Each structure stands twice: as C-alpha cells, then as structure tokens.
Amino acid sequence: MTKRAQTAGGADELPADVRAAILRTAAEVLGSLEPTEVPVALRQVHRFAPRRRATAGALPLWTTLTLDDGFRGRVARVWSQARPTLADSLVGTHDGVDDHEVAELAAGSAAEVAVGAWLLRPAGWEDLLVAASRALAEQGTVEGGVPARTLEAAQERADRAEADAAQLAARLGVALVEAEEARSDAATLRREQRRLRSDADRARSEARRALGEAQADRVEAERLRVEAGDLLARAMDVERSAEAERLVVRGESRLARGLAETRVRLLLDTIVDAADALRDELALPPVGLGPADLVAPSGDQGPAPRRTSRGRAATDPALLDDLLALPHAHLVVDGYNVSKSAYGELSLADQRHRLVGALANLAGRTGVEITCCFDGQEGPRRTGGYARGVRVLFSVGEIADDLIRRLVRAEPPGRVVVVVTSDQQVVADVQAGGAWAVPAETLLARLTRL
C-alpha cells in the first residue's frame, strides 16, 4: 500500500464534500441518540440546533469520529442502512480488490464511495478512498466553469464563517444566560431588601410594644411600692399594738406569778407551822447527825467512766478498730470533711462516690452501722443509695455539722457513737454529747488497709 493510501484517512487528505457528507451523517446520528448515549466530547454539540451541528460542531464531530470507533461504527451502520447495495459492495471487498475493481467502484459515485470506505473501512479501504478522491478530482469543474478547488475553498470559508457565527451565537447565549442570572440576582436582592425592610418594621413595632410594656411595668411597680408602703405602715401599727399587748400580758403574768408565790409561801408557812406543832406534840428529839454525816465516803461514784484510748493517739487506726469492735457501734462520718482531705482534686460527686464505696467495704468487713452526712441544698430530704450498708444523708436547711450533732443527741445513752471529723468545733460538741471523735486521717488510714 502506498504512503498516499496510508494517509488518505486524515481530515486534510479528504475532499471537502466527502468530509462534509461524513459530518452531516454524523450530525444526524448524534441528533437521534439519547442523552445518556452521547459521547462526552459531543454533549455540547448535541445541544446545538440540528442544522448547526454539522457546521458549528465540525471539529469535535470529526475528532470523535477519528478517535471513537464506537461512535464511528454507529454512524457507519446508519449510513449502511440508507445505502445497503453500496455498503454490501464495499464490505464484499474484505478479501482485497485489485486496481480494476477499485476503479469500477469509484467510478459510480465517487463521493458516496469515499464516505462509505472511510466509515466502514473494509479491507483495502485506503485504496478505495484514494481512487474515489482521484475520481472526484478528475470530474473537473462544477456548473458555470468554476474549478472544484475554488468551490471547495469557498465552501471552507463558508464553513469557517458559519463556525464563527456559531461561536458568536454561543457567546451571545452565554451573555444572555449571565444577564438572566444577573436579573434573577437583582430580583433576589430586591426580595431580600423587602424582607429586611419588613423585619426592620417588625423590630421597630416590637420595640414600641416592649417600651409600652416597660412603662406599664413601671407604673405597676410604683403602685405595688405604694401598696407595700401601706402594708408596712399597717404592719408597724400591728407590731406596736402587739408590743403593747405583750407588755400588758407581761405585767399580768408578773402579777399572777407574785400571787402564786405568795400562795406558795403561805402554804409553806402553814406546813412548817404544822410540822413544828406536830414535832412538839410528838416530843421528837433533835437530829443528832447532819446531812454531811450521812454522806457515804465512797458511795457516790459520779458519772459512769467512759472507755479511754489507753494512751494511744487519736490518729491510730487501731483505736478506731477497737471502737468499731464494741457492740452496736455507730460510725458517723462528716462526708465532705473526709472526702476533701483524700480526694480534693475530684468533683464533689466523684468524692461522694469514692468515699461511700470505701465505707461500704468497711461496713461489709466489720458489720458496723455507718452513716455518712453531706451538705445538701433546699428541698426534700434525700437518702443516697451509693453502696449497701451505708446510710447517706444530705442536710436540708442546715449544714452537715448540725445534722451530725442531732444524730449524736438522738442516740440513747450508753451506745458507742464514733464521729469522724477534723472540725474541732464539731469534735467539742459531740464529745460533750458523749460520743467519740476521731480525725479524718484515722479513718482514711483504716480505709487504705481494706
């Protein structure tokens, strides 16, 4: 095959009318495709008007035909269906043709043969394309004596002019789209401006209404202040009346008390006189011993002695073990006083959880009753349930120190009550109530041995 035959398929080697016929067929096929079937490179051309696809989209159409065998094959099938006889003649040369057969095929319709050879590309299609091109060149001039080359040049100029016009039309379309978008943006801005103006009017209306409500509130507050002043004046009058009545009642009480004392004294005098008369009548001898003589030297034992620490320090964990080993011992713990000494870096909730958990272990090992007191807040009394065997109390309307004092006072005399706190005021109060007091460090040392 000659070099000319090898290069005959290029766009520059094809006659203009052959190339135009191929592009027209490709444009018709492109218009019949579904959007999903259109090659990516031709999607923009697919949007063109049908009469403009072959001219305005000539370059992408030719590039796709050259590079995309699938699209070229689809165009070849459409061309073959329209010209089945010529297509069969071209395809029938798959075993190769000699120069005579090529010349006969090309002599019929040189342009159609060139188009079919380029699209179908049977065996020897390059020779067919060269022969058809030569036949087209030998056909001479067109009507009027105008050379074919001149006509082709004019056609090319017309194609370029139409392509330029299409490009300008595309630019115009883009400009129109941008103008439409600008108009849409302007309309959006106008709507936003109206909305903002409406919001501003609404805000001003709400501000006026709020100002009116504030003025009404000030008037109401002034009225309430006047009423409060009147109520205060009446309360002061009632207080003065109550104070006067209290003075009267106090005077009457003093008078009644004096009368009662007089009656009691008169009764005592009567009893004493009667006793003296009875002593005289019975001739009783005078008393030989005074009260001091009747006092037994060792009979008065005083208050019952309390178990002592036997010389051990209050911080000795063994002392706490001895106290908890006593029957029915009750351990009362000042919660935050102990937890802040050991877990001060934790939150209060975590401190409570750690301390109550450790006390639960102690209760499980010793069986002692344990009550842990924490400072609470206003509201109904709550009991915690952090661990089994530990009673958790939160003070309500008082501090935990006062709750501990009340717990100590509520215990019956003689029961062993051990209060764990480092607050010296609480220590003094509970010891005065008969309870034991050990510092927080003693309990913490005991808990570390669990």
Percent of the chain predicted with pLDDT > 90? 41
**Domain membership flag for residue 113:** yes
d(CA 373, CA 388): 16
Q: How many domains does the chain have?
A: 2
Mean pLDDT, 10 residues at a time, the chain of 450 residues: 43 78 91 90 89 88 92 92 87 54 56 89 86 76 45 66 68 74 89 92 91 91 91 91 90 86 82 79 54 38 44 75 91 95 93 94 93 77 62 92 94 92 95 94 89
Q: Which of 108, 139, 170 is the last residue of a domain?
A: 139
Query: Per-residue b/e over 182-203, b at no fewer than 16 CB within 10 Å?
Result: eeeeeeeeeeeeeeeeeeeeee
Query: Per-residue b/e over 239-250, b at no fewer than 16 CB within 10 Å?
Result: eeeeeeeeeeee
**Domain membership flag for residue 409:** yes
CA angle 30, 33, 38 (to 5 degrees): 75
> Which residue range forms the structural domain that includes residue 124?
3-139
**Domain membership flag for residue 202:** no
CATH number at 392 reads: 3.40.50.1010
d(CA 377, CA 131): 109
397: region left, alpha or beta (phi > 0 left; psi from -120 to 50 alpha): left
HSE-up of 366 (CA within 13 Å, CB side)?
26
- Token code pair at residue 185: 């943006």
**Domain membership flag for residue 168:** no
Find tokens 């010529």 and name the residue. Answer: 86
Q: Which of 104, 139, 174 is the last residue of a domain?
A: 139
Q: Which of 83, 109, 139 is the last residue of a domain?
A: 139
**Domain membership flag for residue 384:** yes
CB 365 within 8 Å of CB 293: no
CB 419 within 8 Å of CB 401: no
**Domain membership flag for residue 424:** yes
d(CA 71, CA 35): 14
d(CA 438, CA 416): 13
- Token code pair at residue 70: 């699938």
What are the pLDDT digits (tens) for 55-107? 888 999 999 999 999 999 999 999 999 888 888 888 875 444 444 554 555 44
**Domain membership flag for residue 148:** no
**Domain membership flag for residue 276:** no
